[in-house]
Amino acid sequence: MTKTRIAVFVSGGGTNLQALLDAQASGKLHSGQIVLVVSSQPDAYALTRAERAGVPGVVCSRKELGGQEAFEAAILQVLERYGAEMIVLAGFMSILSKDFTDRFPERILNVHPALIPSFCGKGYYGLRVHEEALKRGVKVTGATVHFVNEIPDGGRIILQKPVMIEEGDTPRTLQRRVMEQAEWIILPQAAEMVAADIAERKEHAD
């Protein structure tokens, strides 16, 4: 079976990208292959991780390209050049338009650091998610991998994993634990599930 070609979109440190690269190296992610990393920031450490793993990295900056339309057009061009069939958003801080997401129905995945429908939607990203969880006093949080559509955090849920909140947690300690105990586990699992599904459909279409 031919592997599904995966592009990973990043904006920062790339810890979720690293989890995907590690899963690929260990064989947990075997139905797909990461062929490209797209960063919205030229100085993202994720690009260094990509380079170390021998994966091409490309920068598409909305600011430099002069707006959403040009930004998405540049990304589409790069995806086409590398033959990407599926996209994983791994800490990607740009919202994609309906026009873009409609081109990849149920082929774009995102990981969100909470149990959707809690603490999600517009403006809920990074530390703010964990700050709000602690503020509300919830006892259990976690992470969700979902398909991406035009609504922030609005696509169909693929996998979720709960994480207990502990006494004395700060937003930063909670963020770290949600990554280690949930995000880095379920993102590669979900990527494998979707990649396998795409590869199988492709084979049947042939």
Of 18, 3, 86, give the one whose Cα is nearest residue 48. Answer: 18
Annotated catalytic residue: which of 30, 112, 130, 204? 112
Give the pLDDT confidence of 148-195 residue by residue, as tens digits.
998 889 999 999 999 999 999 999 999 999 999 999 999 999 999 999
Q: What is the value of pTM for the model shown?
A: 0.94
Which of 58, 19, 12, 15 lies closest to 35, judged by CA?
A: 58
| Rounded-to-integer distance, Cα 111 and Cα 126, Å | 11
- Residue for token digits 């810890």? 15
DSSP H or E run through 7: strand 4-10
Tokens encoding 115: 């149990």
What is the chain's length? 206
Q: Which residues of the chain have pLDDT under 50?
A: none
Interatomic CA distance for residues 172 and 57, integer angstroms: 28
Write down all domains in the chain, each with its CATH number in brackets.
Answer: 4-205 (3.40.50.170)
112 catalytic residue (yes or no)? yes
